[in-house]
Amino acid sequence: MSISIVPDYPNMTIEMIVGEASPIQVVLTSQVTSAPCPRCGTPSTRIRGTYQRRPQELPWGTAAVVLQLTVHRFRCDAPACPQKFFCERLSWVPVYQRRTIACIQRILTMAWEMSASAAQRVAETMGIHVSRSTINRKCQQGLYSLQMGYQRFQQR
Ligand SMILES: [Zn+2]
């Protein structure tokens, strides 16, 4: 049985890992060739460019990790849909989030077991950079709502 320290990133190719300085940079490119429109659900294969995301990932040991994601931008062809272009959604980095779900979950677990201030200090020693106000906001939103939001998106 082999164990990998690199998590599985569905539909992504790891292009490069740059580990000379902190944070470690993991460069990933999407291999997705079609995606459903988030507005109307119509599948699209019309890739109209790419865009970059840089979410924070769980640390490797005590080294901070940032992902450099290249994901696709699609065009929706449904004539009545007001969404002309949309960006590919990732199940493990919710849209508009700057951290992976695993990283958010780690932060929330600490925050729920201690105060936001203590969680922020402990997270910093682990290589997770997050402010106390962000922790408070995430606690109010809750990981559950983040995941449910994504599931609602998937069901469209
Ligand atoms: Zn659409």
The full set of domain ranges for the chain reads 12-155
Q: Distance from the CA of 82 to the center of ligand 1, in angstroms? A: 7
- Residue 75 sits at the vertex; the CA angle it makes with 69 and 79, to the nearest 5 degrees, is 155
Distance from Cα 75 to the centre of ligand 1, integer Å:
8
Measured in Å, residue 70 CA sits from the centre of ligand 1 at 22
pTM of whole model > 0.85?
no
Q: How far is the CA of 81 from the centre of ligand 1 (A)?
A: 5
**In the prediction, which pLDDT does 94 show?**
86
Q: 128-137: per-residue pLDDT in tens?
A: 989 999 888 8
Q: Give pLDDT, residue 143.
A: 57
Question: What is d(CA 33, CA 56) in angstroms, rounded to the nearest whole number?
Answer: 25
CA–centroid distance, 79 to ligand 1, in Å, is 8
Q: How far is the CA of 37 from the centre of ligand 1 (A)?
A: 5
Regions of the chain with pLDDT less than 70: 1-3, 142-156
Between the CA of 50 and the centroid of ligand 1 the distance, in Å, is 18
Provide the pLDDT for residue 145: 57
Give pLDDT, residue 147. 54
Give CA–CA dist 61/126, Å, rounded. Answer: 7
Residue 47 makes CB contacts below 8 A (sequence gap 6+) with: 33, 72, 73, 74
Report how far ligand 1's centroid is from the alpha carbon of 48 (Å): 14
